[in-house]
């Protein structure tokens, strides 16, 4: 447990040193930051994985054997009477159709429509929305010394508006064309639907079935391969090199409260981590910090603060 606390303290001191260096040479802010969110640098542990490979202990062997000829029965169709054709006459088909015949053309007339107005109220922007950086000390830092964690919060400054009322044209004066439709009458007549035609009818050929024996597979030699034998060997290799990572989003001070700490303690305890004899008490003490660091390392998460990745991994939701 003391070892985890020492690692945590070292990570906070390193993060503090980075922050101080940046402040001396000119502030270096988190990239792509969003208003209302907080960021800090944290330690990313080494990630290892177990890889398995096969080692050959007996090479492949080859041999040859003779396969005799095999036969099969096949069925063939032999034509005994050729295909023939004949023509068939198909009479015409008629149908009654009804259509509309125009007896009076369409006419038009112009109607004048007066303009209409309405009163509208709108908000006019007098000062645009802005944003500013605010330096803060994070009370939810996993270090016992709050000065070890310097965070930068990008906050919004709201826009300013004034109300203006005015009368605007709703619908301009216009004209409308009214159409007086044409008049039609219904006419019925008989027309050809399908003209007379001829159809060629095919009388299919006649066949008989003949069965005969043919070679299925000719005699040949076959190569028989005895596969090589392998033994499985497992070893542990470095998958991802750890170290101090880039800026990570963390839980801002104003969101770290007794309820959030209690949720963290309950989640760690549920996952089998020792949070100390006081249990879930809402206090981010030494035992809780050590358990959180161990959980972060065990799950390849950023180490050293209440970062968003760790909170999501623990299943903790907050606004």
What is the number of other CB atoms lying within 10 angstroms of the CB of residue 262?
A: 15
Tell me the residue ranges of DSSP E strands in the chain: 38-44, 47-58, 61-67, 70-81, 84-90, 93-104, 107-113, 116-127, 130-137, 150-157, 160-171, 174-180, 183-194, 197-203, 206-217, 220-226, 229-240, 243-250
> For residue 99, is pLDDT > 80?
yes
pLDDT in tens, 150-163: 777 878 888 888 88
> For residue 315, is pLDDT > 90?
yes
Rounded CA gap, 31 and 248, in Å? 10
* pTM over the 0.75 mark: no
273 in Cβ contact with 291 (< 8 Å): yes
> For residue 238, is pLDDT > 80?
no
Size of the chain in residues:
319
| Mean of the per-residue pLDDT values of the chain | 81
122 in Cβ contact with 164 (< 8 Å): yes
Mean pLDDT on 116-122: 87
Per-domain residue ranges of the chain: 2-49+239-313
The pLDDT assigned to 283 comes to 93
Rounded CA gap, 261 and 59, in Å? 61
The pLDDT assigned to 268 comes to 96
Kindly indicate the confidence band of residue 49, based on its pLDDT and cuts at 50, 70 and 90: confident
The pLDDT assigned to 245 comes to 65
> For residue 31, is pLDDT > 60?
yes
> For residue 147, is pLDDT > 80?
no
> For residue 240, is pLDDT > 50?
yes
> For residue 114, is pLDDT > 90?
no
308: left (phi over 0), alpha (psi -120 to 50) or beta: alpha
| SS3 label, residue 32 | coil
Per DSSP, the residues of 77-125 read EEEEE--EEEEEEE--EEEEEEEEEEEE--EEEEEEE--EEEEEEEEEE
Kindly indicate the confidence band of residue 19, based on its pLDDT and cuts at 50, 70 and 90: very low
Of 28, 1, 61, 14, whose CA–CA distance to 242 is shortest? 14
Per-residue CA distances from 240 to 14, 245, 299, 301, 310 (Å):
21, 12, 13, 12, 18
Mean pLDDT on 191-218: 88
Rounded CA gap, 310 and 297, in Å? 10
Kindly indicate the confidence band of residue 12, based on its pLDDT and cuts at 50, 70 and 90: very low
Rounded CA gap, 300 and 282, in Å? 25
Rounded CA gap, 179 and 108, in Å? 5
Q: Which residue has the tokens 């989003």?
A: 249
Mean pLDDT on 21-43: 68
Kindly indicate the confidence band of residue 267, based on its pLDDT and cuts at 50, 70 and 90: very high
């Amino acid at each position: 447990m003391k070892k985890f606390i020492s690692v945590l303290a070292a990570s906070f001191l390193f993060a503090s040193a980075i922050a101080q260096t940046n402040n001396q040479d000119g502030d270096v802010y988190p990239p792509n930051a969003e208003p209302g969110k907080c960021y800090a640098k944290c330690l990313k542990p080494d990630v290892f994985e177990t890889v398995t490979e096969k080692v050959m202990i007996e090479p492949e062997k080859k041999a040859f054997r003779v396969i005799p000829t095999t036969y099969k029965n096949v069925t063939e169709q032999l034509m005994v009477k050729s295909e023939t054709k004949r023509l068939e006459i198909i009479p015409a088909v008629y149908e009654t159709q009804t259509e509309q015949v125009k007896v009076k053309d369409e006419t038009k007339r112009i109607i004048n429509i007066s303009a209409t107005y309405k009163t509208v109220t709108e908000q006019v922007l007098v000062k645009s929305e802005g944003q500013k950086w605010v330096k803060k000390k994070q009370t939810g830092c996993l270090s016992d010394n709050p000065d070890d964690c310097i965070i930068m919060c990008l906050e919004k400054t709201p826009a300013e508006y004034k109300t203006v009322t005015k009368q605007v044209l709703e619908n301009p004066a216009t004209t409308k064309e009214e159409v007086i439709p044409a008049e039609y009458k219904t006419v019925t007549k008989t027309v050809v639907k399908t003209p007379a035609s001829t159809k060629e009818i095919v009388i299919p050929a006649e066949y008989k079935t003949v069965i005969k024996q043919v070679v299925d597979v000719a005699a040949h030699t076959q190569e028989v391969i005895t596969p090589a034998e392998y033994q499985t060997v497992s070893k542990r290799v470095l998958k991802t090199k750890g170290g101090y990572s880039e800026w990570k989003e963390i839980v801002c001070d104003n969101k770290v409260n007794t309820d959030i700490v209690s949720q963290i303690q309950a989640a760690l305890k549920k996952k089998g981590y020792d949070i100390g004899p006081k249990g879930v008490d809402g206090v981010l003490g030494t035992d809780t910090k050590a358990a959180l660091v161990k959980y972060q390392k065990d799950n390849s998460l950023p180490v050293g603060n209440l970062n968003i990745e760790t909170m999501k991994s623990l299943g903790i939701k907050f606004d």
